[in-house]
Amino acid sequence: MPFLSPFNHQSLSAAALGAASESDLIPCADVLAHEPLTNDPDEEDALPSTDTESLICKTYVVTEQLAGQRIDKVAAEVFADYSREQIKHWLESGELSVNGCVQKPKYRLKVADTLQLHAKRVSQQPDVAENIALDIVYEDDAVLVVNKPVGLVVHPGAGNWQGTLVNALLYHYPNSRLLPRAGLVHRIDKDTSGLMVVAKDSQSQLHLINQLKNKSVYRLYQALVIGRAYDLARHTTIDAPIARHATQRTKMAVVQGGKSAVTHLIQVNAITEYFSLVKVRLETGRTHQIRVHLSHLGFPLVGDTVYGSARKNATLIHQLPPAQSEAFKNFPRQALHAYELGFVHPKTGLPVQVTAALPEDMTQLLATLQA
């Protein structure tokens, strides 16, 4: 029997996240900048356009409606094609000014103040397009959803400059070179399988990033966990802050004073006396969040060599029948799959829901454990 907990999908209209009226902007040239995804600690440079330097030149005159608000808040609203991080950078560099003068982000605007954005985009080192097959489960003119296989790194970085999802996107969708991270909005670990949404244009990308911040994107995972179902079912919500481990800097940990992290266990199914299949909803998206939270409570994921317990694994190997013991011992990665993804379509404002079945390695492991 499954253990259930309530769960509501959140939604957010496209209009609520849309840009300010175009009539408020007086463009000299309308060229998109390449800003980073602000919640990604391992970012690399995005791809440039074919131009080596492009000028962004826009002006906005403050109306009575926006007077009294901070410049960074107003700029993020009226220059909605660009991220808050990019706006912050331009304020600090002086490329975004008020009446021709550099102001701090907390400066409060007055009626008829003129915001002037004059910024250059400089080309960055391009990533390589590679013919890597993609499993596309949803696609239209604005977005696509990829079912990422186990072992595929999401974006280039130290030790993985090629053979990544970004390299594949650049090959199959050449226009993605104009977007930060080739249109990526979020990421999942190399050895986690499942669904990722990718934007095809800058407005859709920013819209989806804002949805992540406002929690109108929902992500559901299936995790095969070491633990009894009735013990897991007592933890419907895990609310524990996460930060970098104090001594093992490649790991994350539950740390007092860390970043807020909330994980919901929405269904728990007993697989055997020792294993449970858990459906998980992320409310926040911290690095390794599901793995850290479940391990912290004493329920590590099967195959998780980073957050698992070698002692607990050794005990289980001796308690299980031979076939189950071998399958458990040799499973090569954390048993985690992003099986459902929902978001508000950035163009239509309609809800989109996509699902992906468990990958073969997890279904085979489940079959063996249940035999």
Q: Is the pTM of this model over 0.75?
A: no
Domain definitions of the chain by residue range: 25-122, 127-214, 216-371
What was the pLDDT predicted at 121? 61
Spans of the chain, pLDDT less than 50: 1-53, 122-125
| Equal fold, 25-122 vs 127-214 | no
221 Cβ contact list (under 8 Å, min separation 6): 194, 279, 280, 281, 282, 290, 336, 337, 338, 339
What was the pLDDT predicted at 49? 33
Amino acid (1-letter code) at residue 50: T
Stretch (H or E) spanning 221? strand 218-226
Q: Which homologous superfamily does the CATH classification assign to the domain defined by 216-371?
A: Pseudouridine synthase (3.30.2350.10)
Q: Look-up: residue for tokens 């330097």?
A: 53
Specify whether the CB–CB gap between 117 and 33 falls below 8 A.
no
Q: How far apart are CA 353 and CA 231, in angstroms?
A: 31
User: Could you tell me which of 33, 25, 23 has the C-alpha nearest to residue 79?
Assistant: 25
54 Cβ contact list (under 8 Å, min separation 6): 29, 31, 120, 121
Specify whether the CB–CB gap between 12 and 344 falls below 8 A.
yes
What was the pLDDT predicted at 158? 63
What was the pLDDT predicted at 84? 76
Amino acid (1-letter code) at residue 6: P
Alpha carbon distances (Å) from 329 to 64, 300, 318: 66, 14, 10
Alpha helices per DSSP H over the chain: 71-78, 84-93, 165-172, 202-214, 229-232, 289-296, 310-319, 322-330, 360-370
Greatest CA span in the chain, whole angstroms?
77
What was the pLDDT predicted at 11? 35
Amino acid (1-letter code) at residue 136: I
Which residue among 189, 191, 201, 304 is the active-site one?
189
CATH of 25-122, one of 3.10.290.10, 3.40.120.10, 3.30.70.1450, 1.10.3720.10: 3.10.290.10
User: Could you tell me which of 69, 49, 55, 51 has the C-alpha nearest to residue 126?
Assistant: 49
Q: How far apart are CA 138 and CA 136, in angstroms?
A: 6
Alpha carbon distances (Å) from 239 to 30, 272, 293, 308: 43, 27, 9, 20
Strand order in the sheet with 96-98: 26-29, 53-61, 114-122, 96-98
Stretch (H or E) spanning 121? strand 114-122
Catalytic residue list contains 141 = no
CATH architecture of 127-214: 2-Layer Sandwich (3.30)
